[in-house]
A and B are shown apart, each in its own frame.
Chain A
């Protein structure tokens, strides 16, 4: 009996100690409390969006989302509402950002600023509606710049119209016009259907497609006979209709498809448009001819840049990517490396012989092609609304950067050579200056 009582007594002693310790713990809690305020706030912070050169494009300060670079890459970054991303990368990467993860981009803010600056100068000057630019790193397909005009500042997103928030280079589709000629000529060279010196009869207009066909016109006065090089130089639609005559429809459409037209660009979570290619069953003589000069198909500026990048990258298509560290997109051979190099030299001559002042930079090897595409309004090609386009790369012998430019609805000097080409030149000048690239041609002595 006494043993039991002694045991009970020890149990009571133990319980009393526990109770006392709980009293100590409660007292300590009341007295000191745990300083948790700062750590709690840090843990819940939304991730930042950071450019390749370390500039913060979006970050959270307390409960507020701020965009320190203001308008720079505003449409790409998008904006955040009260609780979650509404547009752009803020929307596309909302789960990751909400979980506190940073999103690192391939954008270079210096090149982005150059692209936006070039658009901001040219678009209002030519009384155009909007414009967009994409700059790609040739070998990796990294998007160095994706610029839209009019500008958009996500810090004050409510004061902007819906159209201004649009990431145009990824989402707007348009007919790429004569810029396609460079790609089609490369495909024809690759198939052995033409050479740079092959001559064609090139009147200023030609009927194509038989009874149900249509008349193709050229805009730039040119000789009655042109070589393939000359067709690119004078951007002859008639000449292109001759170049693609021996091209089997499925082969030619296959090349356009391999260039990336008519399909989504393989960029994880980043929204983009596909553009369109007509289904093969509709490919007749007229569709083949019009596609050879960029009508009857559509593309985004991103797709056009990726297609031209194929030539710059020795014939291998590299899927563009905007997110640094993301899984590399698709790579596929499209044309042979020697064909790509030959086409690059032809496109360099297009600038050197055709528009040296508009797109060329003294001492540097620049290659590219202009386009002036009529825009379909109410189901018909308008005679007043145009898309001014340019796609090119540099240095042409060993390209490092590919640029595509599109400006819509210019009222003054809307031709590609007058509007899009100078924008390309402006951006190229900035990039070459940032590289401090030495000119290849020997400068004259003073």
Chain B
């Protein structure tokens, strides 16, 4: 069987010049893209080391945070604090001797022109142990 081509179809340009031109264009595009890639890499050359440094720093800080959080938890151990307080003379409120004290009645003062909340000063001396 033979294949016949219609006369109305455009002729196929398979000449070496056409292929050479096409190959040259593709090569140029490739080189252009390559150049842009290398340029981008050059411009961003500091990004990677910085990113690595930051990652390491973040890792170190995370570890430090965990260790410090742990240290805080250990140092604020309730048993430890309680033992320290007892060793330094803490008396528990429920065991402390309690006394009653009658506050002296406030002296009669002339009524102020503008109603204000009554001011009374109470002095409290707190003595540890």
Interface residues, chain A, with chain B CB atoms under 8 Å away: 1-2, 5, 9, 13, 16, 20, 24, 27, 31-32, 35, 37-38, 41-42, 55-56, 59, 61-62, 66, 68-72, 109-110, 112-114, 116-117, 361, 363-364, 428-430, 432-433, 436-437, 439, 442-446
Contacts and interface: CB of A to CB of B under 8 A. Distances in A.
Given A24-B37, A27-B37, A109-B78, A59 B70 contact: yes
Contacts of B69: 56
Interface in B37-63: 37, 41, 47-48, 51-52, 54-55, 58-59, 62-63
> Mostly helix, strand, loop or mixed at chain B's interface?
helix
Contact of A56 (B67, B73, B83, B95): B73
A359 B79 CA distance: 23
Given A1-B9, A16-B30, 18 more contacts: A32-B47, A35-B51, A35-B55, A42-B62, A55-B73, A55-B78, A68-B74, A70-B74, A112-B78, A113-B79, A116-B79, A117-B79, A361-B94, A363-B98, A429-B92, A436-B93, A443-B97, A445-B99
17 contacts: A1-B9, A2-B11, A5-B14, A42-B62, A55-B73, A55-B78, A56-B69, A68-B74, A69-B77, A70-B74, A70-B77, A117-B79, A363-B94, A363-B98, A439-B94, A443-B98, A445-B101
Contacts of B93: 432-433, 436
A37 B55 contact: yes
Contacts of A72: 77-79
A27 B73 CA distance: 46
Contact of B100 (A20, A109, A443): A443
A13 B114 CA distance: 92
Nearest to B76: A55
Given A363-B98, A443-B100, A2 B12 contact: yes
Contacts of B30: 16, 20
B24 interface: no
A181 B106 CA distance: 54
A437 B93 CA distance: 8
A422 B5 CA distance: 114
Most A Cβ at <10 Å: residue of B11, B22, B33, B79: B79
B48 A429 contact: no
Contacts, number: 110
Contacts of B41: 27, 31
B77 A38 contact: no
B13 interface: yes
Interface residues of B, number: 44
Most A Cβ at <10 Å: residue of B41, B66, B92: B92
A444 B62 CA distance: 57
B77 A68 contact: yes
> Nearest 3 pairs between A and B by C-beta?
A68-B73, A433-B92, A433-B93
B26 A16 contact: yes
Nearest to A430: B92
B76 to A, nearest CB: 8
Contacts of A445: 99-101
Given A27-B37, A68-B73, A442-B100, A38 B59 contact: yes
Contacts of B95: 361, 429, 433
Contacts of A13: 26
A268 to B, nearest CB: 26
Given A68-B77, A69-B73, A113-B78, A37 B48 contact: no
A361 B110 CA distance: 46
A42 B76 CA distance: 25
A57 to B, nearest CB: 9
A35 B52 CA distance: 7
A363 B94 CA distance: 8
Interface string B66-90: 1101100110111100110000000
B78 A364 contact: no
Contacts of B74: 68-70
Nearest to A59: B70
Contacts of B37: 24, 27
B104 interface: no
B13 A2 contact: yes
Nearest to B34: A20
B10 interface: yes
Nearest to B73: A68
Nearest to B9: A1
A436 B69 CA distance: 30
A32 B26 CA distance: 28
B93 to A, nearest CB: 4
